[in-house]
Amino acid sequence: MIARIWHGRTPAEKARKYVDYLRQTGIAGYKATKGNMGVYVLMREEGEEADFLLISLWESTNAIRGFAGDNIEEALYYPEDKEFLLEFEPKVKHYEVMLGEPSNIPPSMH
């Protein structure tokens, strides 16, 4: 299993709306892609900014290509992202998942 990790920042006052927007765009795109095994959206507010990490889980790098295209290291953005994000990081990171021990984490927390 491969974890694809993306990082982004929004103004703190837009953070909750950005989570809703993510559900409609990136999260929906992950779920619609064969080989996606789930996603976690992590958020931390720091003063006037909110920091986001999206950790999506994939069966393989080929599955990631189904979502991101041939250059899986390139971050994928949607047109409306410019209304939320403070910058556009060009790259994502991938990690091989070596161990996972899920517990009773609710599928949606907000």
pTM over 0.85: yes
What are the tokens at 14? 């837009």
CATH architecture for segment(s) 2-96: 2-Layer Sandwich (3.30)
Q: Is the pLDDT of residue 109 over 60?
A: no
Contact 3, 55 (CB under 8 A): yes
Enumerate residues 6+ apart whose C-beta is below 8 A from 37.
1, 57, 58, 59
- Each domain of the chain, given as residue ranges in start order, spans 2-96
pLDDT of residue 110: 45
- Nearest Cα to Cα of residue 40 among 21, 25, 59, 27: 27
Q: Is the pLDDT of residue 2 over 60?
A: yes
pLDDT of residue 101: 73
Percent of residues, the chain, with pLDDT higher than 90: 88
Q: Is the pLDDT of residue 28 over 70?
A: yes
| DSSP for 29-55, written as a single string | HHHTSTTEEEEEEEEEEETTEEEEEEE
